[in-house]
Amino acid sequence: METVYDFFNHSISIRNQQIFLPILEEKQVELHIKREDEIHPFVSGNKFRKLKYNLQEAKNQGYKTLLTFGGAFSNHILATAVAGKILGFKTIGIIRGDELAKDLQQTILDNPTLQKAHENGMIFEFVSRESYRTKTSEYFLEQLSAKFGNFYLIPEGGTNELAIQGCKEILSSKDSIFNYICCAVGTGGTISGLINASENHQKVIGFPALKGDFLRSEIEKYTKKTNWSLLTNFHFGGYAKYNATLIRFINDFKNETKVLLDPIYTAKMIYGLLEIIKNDGFQKGSKILAIHTGGLQGIQGVNQKLHKNNEEIIH
């Protein structure tokens, strides 16, 4: 495994890349992308930020094992497996979908995310969708303790108070020149950190990658500030849903800017952002910082599906 940024080192600095596109010039709007995707290929972007203080806490409390939850293509599952390996933790992944347990070898062969997590020593426990839904219940957690002993629990998607503390570090004092900070939203942890780190003259805009109205109240659990909003029209049908338009957009954007986006989160944000810019949603002279939260490891799995269906893949 190649080296990763020191998880306990506070001062990692990530570049902001200015994006040049005709539409930005026409509307006189500046767009920069914070390349958090460059932190690490598998402990990427916000998943690194969310794990940082949790893993430090787990070490401080003397835990040897991390346990967390996720879907079969989850960026968080893989980030936990790889970060755990680097820092010497055992890792257990509770994966949604018990059908995946029928032929474990085939499952791992077919799924690049689980394959990489497995290579990094993660032990999987596949559970039915019904019991996955009860994963925060006392009964479910007791069963896990009986089976796996003592572990440090990281919630699904990695979001908790320590994760939000880590996500605050995405922004630096240099970023105060931006009027708008944009990010993709899943559980709301990342945007909560960004909101807490933002200055009052800045507005934080979230692009949910899934349907549902619960996100606003999730975010309100973690922040008292009000300089934020959610734009809920760019989920492309829901979580992990995408279509040919989005895939084509990813390939065009990569050709024009050299920035590769992931189809589950960051592409939906940048697509939405450019739509709003086209429709004069930002006044002239606006400076926008969009956070590339990573997730590029998921492209291989998406491409396998696209290829099977004879559709355009992500290059």
Ligand X SMILES: *Cc1c(COP(=O)(O)O)cnc(C)c1O
Angle, helix 266-278 to helix 244-257, in steps of 10 degrees: 80
Query: Which residues have a Cβ under 8 Å from the Cβ of 185 and sit 6 or more positions away?
Result: 191, 206, 207, 208, 209, 215, 230
CA distance readout (Å), 263 to 168, 236, 246, 296, 314: 24, 10, 7, 9, 9
Residue 301 is a binding residue for ligand X (CB under 6 A): no
6-45 residues in contact with ligand X (CB under 6 A) are 45
76-95 residues in contact with ligand X (CB under 6 A) are 76
Out of 113, 190, 198, 202, the only residue in the binding site for ligand X (CB under 6 A) is 190
Out of 78, 144, 184, 289, the only residue in the binding site for ligand X (CB under 6 A) is 184
Find how far residue 272's CA is from the centre of its chain: 17
Closest CB to ligand X among residues 68, 266: 266
Closest CB to ligand X among residues 45, 67: 45
Residue 188 is a binding residue for ligand X (CB under 6 A): yes
Residue 75 is a binding residue for ligand X (CB under 6 A): yes
State in angstroms the smallest separation of the CB of 132 from ligand X. Answer: 17
Residue 70 is a binding residue for ligand X (CB under 6 A): no
State in angstroms the smallest separation of the CB of 175 from ligand X. Answer: 18
Query: Which residues have a Cβ under 8 Å from the Cβ of 178 and sit 6 or more positions away?
Result: 32, 202, 287, 288, 289
Closest CB to ligand X among residues 27, 47: 47
Residue 187 is a binding residue for ligand X (CB under 6 A): yes
How many residues in the shown chain lie near ligand X by CB under 6 A? 21
144-163 residues in contact with ligand X (CB under 6 A) are 157, 159
CA distance readout (Å), 297 to 44, 92, 148, 183, 264: 9, 19, 28, 18, 11
| Helix, strand or coil, per DSSP, at residue 140 | helix
* DSSP letter (8 states) at residue 188: S
Instruction: Assess contact for 63 and 90: CB atoms under 8 A.
Output: no
Span near ligand X by CB under 6 A; candidates 52-60, 130-138, 183-191, 301-309: 183-191
Tell which phi-psi region holds residue 158, choosing left (phi > 0), alpha (psi between -120 and 50) or beta.
left
Q: How many CB atoms lie within 10 A of CB 3?
A: 7
Residue 289 is a binding residue for ligand X (CB under 6 A): no
Residue 198 is a binding residue for ligand X (CB under 6 A): no
Encoded one letter per residue, x for contact with ligand X by CB under 6 A and - for no contact, window 46-65 reads xx------------------
C-alpha angle with apex 82: 76 to 86, nearest 5 degrees?
A: 140
Residue 186 is a binding residue for ligand X (CB under 6 A): yes
State in angstroms the smallest separation of the CB of 186 from ligand X. Answer: 3
Residue 266 is a binding residue for ligand X (CB under 6 A): yes
Out of 262, 263, 270, 303, the only residue in the binding site for ligand X (CB under 6 A) is 262
What is the tally of helices (H) and strands (E) in the chain? Answer: 13, 10
Instruction: Assess contact for 154 and 54: CB atoms under 8 A.
Output: yes
Residues that bind ligand X (CB under 6 A): 45-47, 75-76, 157, 159, 184-191, 262, 265-266, 293-295
